[in-house]
């Protein structure tokens, strides 16, 4: 990990001149004249992973430790209004735009048929009950949802928006021409016949699980054990029940249709046997050159957004926002999300500079960077990072190099052998499970007396 890369990510998203101009155009600086706006905005983002006493309290602590003029707690919290929210929206855009400007990392099957794979999901954030009218949850509590669009090629969120938690997820996904050439990985909450139709219309490849309530009609069999002829359009469940199509441990690959008349949609259905028996079925628009097991592996990549949600909540304390007004809550959510994007983009820079496997199936010898571990390291180094912004010249270069070395050391995945990343496997690496520490100690040569 290079200090120049870490510095570039931070200074591109949080540069002095831009932050000052944003504060001026939003009238934030005019309303809060004693405010050191650059230190505040950086503290909001950098302090997300500290987790000492609540999000706003952590921001205040880092703000003062970075050298800002002392302010009482009530006066500090009063700055968290509409003007600050406006500035944080602009910082959000800078983070998203910078991420989208970087090259993708899509080796092998990941980049074979799409320009990138995007994953869509939402994360619920509980709020103070004072916000119940504005952000109703599904119960008697206040909550908002962060609806996210995650790029596999960049390893980070590339878009998100905030809505009341009571709203259903699927109304927040629209597949249109802007998605052309992409692939999308979705859970069952987003699956619909309309989604398949829109993906087919706009040239978007998809991989989703088959809903239990859906009744696919088999048009043609590409792979599978078929015992007798059948009419195109026969019900898949019926064909399995009468053993026309056998689920005997081999993969299944068939063309299917859903619906009837003008509303009929077509796609592939693949079935992959599970180690403990049974099958898991997926729907996709990928061509037949991508086999059923490869499609199952691609769907496993959807777990990346679940890990990213954990990064936001467990590491960047998205669930610890105790603010009681809409603008202050949204400003703090944006700060946590920008911090999440920064951690992911530092990890992405590191991956881009890593040497690829020398050959398919090469043994990986060094642990990969893990964004959650990296974010926690950012939190423990928050004061050092905040002060590094104020340095110049050779001293700044040396300090950013030191920060990068620290993040690289503590940002490594501690479980990389026990739970190897599906992305590393798709990149072509082989990861051999490590031996337990006790076994290593038992086999170690003993020192002579």
Looking at residue 107, what is its pLDDT?
86
Q: Count of CB atoms within 10 A of residue 353's CB? A: 10
- Identify any residues that bridge with 161 across adjacent strands, giving them in sequence order: 147
DSSP 313: I
Looking at residue 361, what is its pLDDT?
84
Cα–Cα distance between 300 and 146 in angstroms, integer? 22
Looking at residue 194, what is its pLDDT?
93
Q: Which of 26, 4, 24 is nearest to 16 (CA)?
A: 24
Cα–Cα distance between 303 and 299 in angstroms, integer? 8
Looking at residue 436, what is its pLDDT?
57
CA 113 to chain centre: 21
Helix (H, G, I), strand (E, B) or coil at 92: helix
Phi, psi dihedral angles at 284 (to 5 degrees): -155, 160
Looking at residue 285, what is its pLDDT?
97
Looking at residue 174, what is its pLDDT?
93
Instruction: Return per-residue pLDDT of the chain as tens, 449 residues.
Output: 999 999 999 999 999 999 999 988 888 876 666 788 999 999 999 999 887 767 889 999 999 998 888 988 998 999 999 999 999 999 999 999 999 999 999 988 999 999 999 999 999 999 999 999 999 998 889 999 999 999 999 999 999 999 999 998 888 999 999 999 999 999 998 999 999 999 999 999 999 999 999 999 999 999 999 999 999 999 999 999 999 999 999 999 999 999 888 889 999 999 999 998 899 999 999 999 999 999 999 999 999 999 999 999 999 988 888 899 999 999 999 999 999 999 999 999 999 998 888 888 888 888 999 999 999 999 999 999 999 999 999 999 999 999 999 999 999 998 888 888 889 888 888 888 866 555 555 555 555 54
Helix (H) or strand (E) holding 149: strand 142-151
Phi, psi dihedral angles at 168 (to 5 degrees): -75, 145
DSSP 76: H
For 20-42, the DSSP string reads HHHHHHTTHHHHSTT--HHHHHH
Looking at residue 398, what is its pLDDT?
97
Structure tokens at 345: 């983009």
DSSP 431: -
Q: Which alpha helices (DSSP H) does 213-324 contain, by range?
A: 236-241, 292-300, 303-310
- Identify any residues that bridge with 124 across adjacent strands, giving them in sequence order: 145
Helix (H, G, I), strand (E, B) or coil at 177: helix
Q: Count of CB atoms within 10 A of residue 211's CB? A: 13
Cα–Cα distance between 330 and 337 in angstroms, integer? 10
Phi, psi dihedral angles at 414 (to 5 degrees): -75, -15
Global pTM reads: 0.91
**Strand boundaries in 309-448, DSSP class E:** 362-363, 429-430
Looking at residue 355, what is its pLDDT?
81
Looking at residue 444, what is its pLDDT?
54
The dihedral built from the CA positions of residue 274, 360, 353 and 378, taken in this order, carries a sign that is positive
| Residue that is written with structure tokens 């309309």 in the block | 194
In contact, 321 and 332? CB cutoff 8 Å: yes
Helix (H) or strand (E) holding 243: none
């Amino acid at each position: 990990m290079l200090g120049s890369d870490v510095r570039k990510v931070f200074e591109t998203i949080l540069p002095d001149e831009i932050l000052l101009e944003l504060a001026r155009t939003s009238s934030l600086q005019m309303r809060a004249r004693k405010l050191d706006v650059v230190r505040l905005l950086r503290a909001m983002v950098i302090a997300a992973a500290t987790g000492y006493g609540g999000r706003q309290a952590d921001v205040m602590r880092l703000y003062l430790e970075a050298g800002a003029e002392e302010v009482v707690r009530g006066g500090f919290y009063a700055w968290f209004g509409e003007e600050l929210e406006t500035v944080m929206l602009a910082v959000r855009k800078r983070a998203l735009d910078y991420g989208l400007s970087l090259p993708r990392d899509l080796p092998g099957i990941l980049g074979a048929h799409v320009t990138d794979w995007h994953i869509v999901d939402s994360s619920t954030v509980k709020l103070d009950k004072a916000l119940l009218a504005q952000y109703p949850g599904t119960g008697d509590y206040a909550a908002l949802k962060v609806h996210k669009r995650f790029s596999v090629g960049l390893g980070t969120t590339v878009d998100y928006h905030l809505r009341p938690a009571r709203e259903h997820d699927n109304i927040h996904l629209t597949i249109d021409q802007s998605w052309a050439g992409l692939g999308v990985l979705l859970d069952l909450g987003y699956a619909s016949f309309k989604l398949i139709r829109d993906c087919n219309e706009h040239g978007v490849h998809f991989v989703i699980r088959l809903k239990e309530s859906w009744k696919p009609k088999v048009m043609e069999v590409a792979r599978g054990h078929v015992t007798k002829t059948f009419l195109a359009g026969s019900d898949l469940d019926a064909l399995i029940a009468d053993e026309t199509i056998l689920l005997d441990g081999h993969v299944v690959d068939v063309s299917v249709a859903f619906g009837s008349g003008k509303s009929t949609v077509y796609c592939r259905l693949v079935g992959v046997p599970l180690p403990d028996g049974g099958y898991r079925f997926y729907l996709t628009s990928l061509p037949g050159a991508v086999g059923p097991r490869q499609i199952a592996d691609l769907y496993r990549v959807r777990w990346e957004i679940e890990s990213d949600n954990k990064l936001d909540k467990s590491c960047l304390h998205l669930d610890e926002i105790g603010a009681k007004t809409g603008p202050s809550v949204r400003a703090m959510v944006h700060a946590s999300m920008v911090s999440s994007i920064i951690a992911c983009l530092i990890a992405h820079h590191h991956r881009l500079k890593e040497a690829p496997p020398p050959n398919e199936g090469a043994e990986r010898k060094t642990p990969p960077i893990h964004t959650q571990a990296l974010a926690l390291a950012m939190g423990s180094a928050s004061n050092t990072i905040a002060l590094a912004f104020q340095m110049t010249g050779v001293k700044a270069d040396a300090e950013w190099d030191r920060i990068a070395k620290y993040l690289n050391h503590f940002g490594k995945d501690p479980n990389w052998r026990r739970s190897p990343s599906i992305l590393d496997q798709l990149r072509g690496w082989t990861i051999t499970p490590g031996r337990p520490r006790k076994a290593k100690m038992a086999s170690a040569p003993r020192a002579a007396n």
